[in-house]
Amino acid sequence: MIYPSIDRLITKVDSKYTLVIAAAKRARQLNDNSRPLIETGLNKSVSVALEEIVQDKVSYERIKAGLK
């Protein structure tokens, strides 16, 4: 089972694509020795990034709509 669940994650962002991009960027920051924003027993950077998103510690900003 995936934790946190996709149902909880998708309520924090506007689309699954945004979720993937936000989690990937945060996971890269964690891999580059950024400190986690939460205390967790998780050891994989993607898992930590997803948990940070669920706990509203990571946010995103859309800078341009309709960019192609």
pLDDT truncated to tens, each residue of the chain (68 aa)?
Answer: 567 888 999 999 999 999 999 999 999 999 999 999 999 888 899 999 999 999 999 988 877 766 66
- Can you read off the two tokens belonging to residue 62? 């859309």
34: in domain: yes
- Can you read off the two tokens belonging to residue 36? 């986690």
64: in domain: no
Whole-model pTM? Answer: 0.84
User: Containing domain of residue 25, as a range?
Assistant: 6-54
Q: What is the total count of domains within the chain?
A: 1
Alpha-carbon distance of 39 to 52, in angstroms, equals 10
Alpha-carbon distance of 10 to 18, in angstroms, equals 9
Q: Could you count the other beta carbons within 10 Å of the beta carbon of residue 59?
A: 10
44: in domain: yes
68: in domain: no
26: in domain: yes
11: in domain: yes
Alpha-carbon distance of 54 to 41, in angstroms, equals 16
18: in domain: yes
